[in-house]
Structure 1
Amino acid sequence: MEDLKKTPLYGLYQEIGAKVIDFGGWALPVQFSSIKEEHHAVRSCAGLFDVSHMGEIVVKGREAENFLQRMLTNDLTKLKVNKAQYTLLCNENGGTIDDLLVYKLSDEVFLLVVNAANTAKDFEWLTAHLEGEVEIIDVSNEYALLAFQGPMAENVLQRLSNTNLSEIPFMGFNPNVEIVGKTVLISRTGYTGEDGFEIYCDPIDARFLWEKILESGKEEGIVPCGLGARDTLRFEACLPLYGQELSQTISPIEAGLKFAVKVNKEIDFIGKSALKNQIEQGVERKLVGIELIERGIPRTGYKVFQEDVEIGVVTTGTQSPTLKKNIGLALVKSNRADIGDEVTVEIRNKYVLGKVIPTPFYKRQK
């Protein structure tokens, strides 16, 4: 663990005995108690995650918006100050360099929140295409990031702030919120399928805020959560994981993310031609949900068959803690595997029967 990058909460992990693993070069907790316990806590009340490994890149200047319009798939002209937008960086072939959130801090300042393992790659890609009066700064070391997710998150966090958190809309943020005397940026975003917040703070304040939030929610059963629950939660909600549902060889159209690809915007962003062609002509692969009828769990990398023909591969799969079913996401041939169709998954040289089911697997009730 000595060679791995560490968040400001690493010392706390050691003190309380969290199970820490190497996650993309970072020493991060996979669990504090158990993955299932933490998962159910987020679905029923709330859980607190340390996601300080995420990367933050500031893009600013008089021509910052135009520059990002050329780099990103979504349409920044639709984005208002104090709102966030899901978008993607793509290569010329339409493959995904990264998926990210862009925060509009002002008309000339944008904060990109990128996947940790892709931070350096994204920064280099943006810098290599830099044009106009634009400055790009990697500010990842200036932020710690806590994600507080679940139906009780607002009530618990509100006790610690004089700001009316209910006024922060979904995909909105407030850059100047005081939480127990510490100034933070709070956004109503997350990666679990639940309501909740992401709290961007000074790294020196991270442990203090972590402990105060857990203390505030102790009676409700709020718990600290690790990467394991984060993955099962995002998977049930069918939120993509870079490296599995998305990659430089998997386009956002193949991954079912057409809503974040605006090929009708005027600027020719990188990958626009390829993505437009995919939308108009169709893609050879699509992402589908599968449920195993027979005993077995569809794990990442397992081959998927239909009528003895190999049609694709599982990108993510597990036993769903919420649904208590063995389910997976699979990238398969587009002319195969419609909803209701039978498929088989090869598990340790056995062919296990399953069926194609609608996604997302889980959707919270408002």
Structure 2
Amino acid sequence: MSKETAFHPRLAALTNEWMDLFGYFAPSVVTGVEEEYRAVRETAGLMDFTMLRKVDLDGPGALELVNSVVGRDVSKLRPGQIAYGPLVDEDGKMVDDCTVLPRGDGRVRFCGANDRDFEIFSSQAEGTGIEVREFTDAMPHLCLQGPRSREILQPLADQDLSNESFPYYTFREDVSIAGVPIFMTRLGYTAELGYELWVDRDRALELWDALLEAGEPQGMKVIGMTALDLFRIEGGFIIGGVEYDPSVSPFECGLGWAVSFDKPDVRGRAGLERDRDGTTLRLTSVV
């Protein structure tokens, strides 16, 4: 049964068109697909992305443990940087596409879309003293995407959000938006300028209301998943259950570039090497 996110009360007042996305209710359409599409391409759109799974790993050796699980070499990431890549099973087949966010002092934040992520990290951490905590519902998050997203956010922010201060594929933990503390990333799923805003659950609706108040007069729209699918396809972004399932390798879904064979520990190495050399199926785009 689909779960409700912290933003569901606000979304339910705007639409009755829903779908299930990774076990959560997500609006398929809010105002209209064409209107939502044009908003993100021309101004900005606001999306509920709470359903992405969030895991914290805390303790000495946390980054090394994560590096032994994900396909990409994240060992040299500095605090505040983000790396994207695959997480595979022992046979080298896709479990998830994910981001790794090292916070320093033995703390790593992980974001994916599969409950198996937490199970894998928990199993790998047994006996290490590393604490693994899943907190998806405790920290819902919104995406604000579009060419005017920074223009909408900056007057509400207590930190500089310029590209110089906040470049692509980085995150910050020192930002408040309209007085609400935010864990903020410069990421997106639309091929537009954009930000992800993670917020404590008890302040989620406060953040929502502030963003709507600031953004709607500038043309911002709340976006459903049908329009989002158009953005991600145009941008070449993949999603579990569409471009891959547990029978697909990273090389077949466009993530072969993010498999680091030169690191000592590569989960599913034999299967990854087999599929790198033996498969011919490749994800491509048609324009």
If the TM-score is normalised by the length of the shorter chain, which range does it land in?
A: over 0.9
Query: TM-score with structure 1 length normalisation?
Result: 0.74
Name the SS of the counterpart of 2:51 in structure 1: coil
Distance of 1:99 and 1:105 partners within structure 2: 20
Query: TM-score with structure 2 length normalisation?
Result: 0.93
Match of 1:123 among 98, 118, 124: 118
* Letter paired with 2:147: P
Name the SS of the counterpart of 1:186 in structure 2: strand
Q: Within 5 Å, give how 1:199-214 maps onto structure 2.
A: 199-214=197-212
Q: Deviations over 1:316-354 (max 9, x none)?
A: xxxxxxxxxxxxxxxxxxxxxxxxxxxxxxxxxxxxxxx
Distance of 1:128 and 1:190 partners within structure 2: 30
Distance of 2:43 and 2:246 partners within structure 1: 37
Partner of 1:64: 62
User: Within the alignment, does 1:238 sit opposite 2:236 as a pair?
Assistant: yes
Distance of 1:250 and 1:16 partners within structure 2: 37
Mapped contact 1:73–1:272 kept (Cα < 8 A): no
Q: Within 5 Å, give how 1:15-30 maps onto structure 2.
A: 15-30=13-28
Distance 1:54 1:83, change over 3 A: same
Mapped contact 1:41–1:222 kept (Cα < 8 A): yes
Distance of 1:5 and 1:24 partners within structure 2: 10
Distance of 2:40 and 2:65 partners within structure 1: 38
Corresponding pairs, count: 284
Q: CA deviation at 1:22?
A: 3.0
Mapped contact 2:19–2:26 kept (Cα < 8 A): yes
Q: Within 5 Å, give how 1:322-341 maps onto structure 2.
A: none
Q: Which has the higher helix share?
A: 2
Distance of 1:27 and 1:254 partners within structure 2: 29
Q: CA deviation at 1:282?
A: 4.5
User: Within the alignment, does 1:133 sit opposite 2:129 as a pair?
Assistant: yes
Distance of 2:188 and 2:224 partners within structure 1: 14
Partner of 1:269: 266
Q: CA deviation at 1:18?
A: 4.3
Q: CA deviation at 1:203?
A: 1.3
User: Which runs of no fewer than 5 residues in structure 1 stay unpaired?
Assistant: 290-356, 362-366
* Letter paired with 1:196: G
Q: Deviations over 1:293-319 (max 9, x none)?
A: xxxxxxxxxxxxxxxxxxxxxxxxxxx
Mapped contact 1:81–1:107 kept (Cα < 8 A): no
Higher RCO, 1 or 2 (CA under 8 Å, sep at least 6)? Answer: 2
Distance of 1:6 and 1:154 partners within structure 2: 28
Q: Deviations over 1:12-47 (max 9, x none)?
A: 122233422333432221111112211121111110
Name the SS of the counterpart of 1:146 in structure 2: strand
User: Within the alignment, does 1:165 sit opposite 2:165 as a pair?
Assistant: no
* Letter paired with 1:126: F
Distance of 1:271 and 1:110 partners within structure 2: 22
Q: In angstroms, what is the RMSD of aligned CA positions? A: 1.6
User: Which runs of no fewer than 5 residues in structure 2 stay unpaired?
Assistant: none
Distance of 1:5 and 1:215 partners within structure 2: 27
Match of 2:145 among 142, 149, 155: 149
Partner of 1:316: none
Q: Deviations over 1:137-177 (max 9, x none)?
A: 11112201000001110011001012101111101011120
Partner of 2:250: 252
Partner of 1:324: none
Q: Deviations over 1:244-291 (max 9, x none)?
A: 1122111111112122111112x2221123223433x252311123xx
* Letter paired with 2:271: A
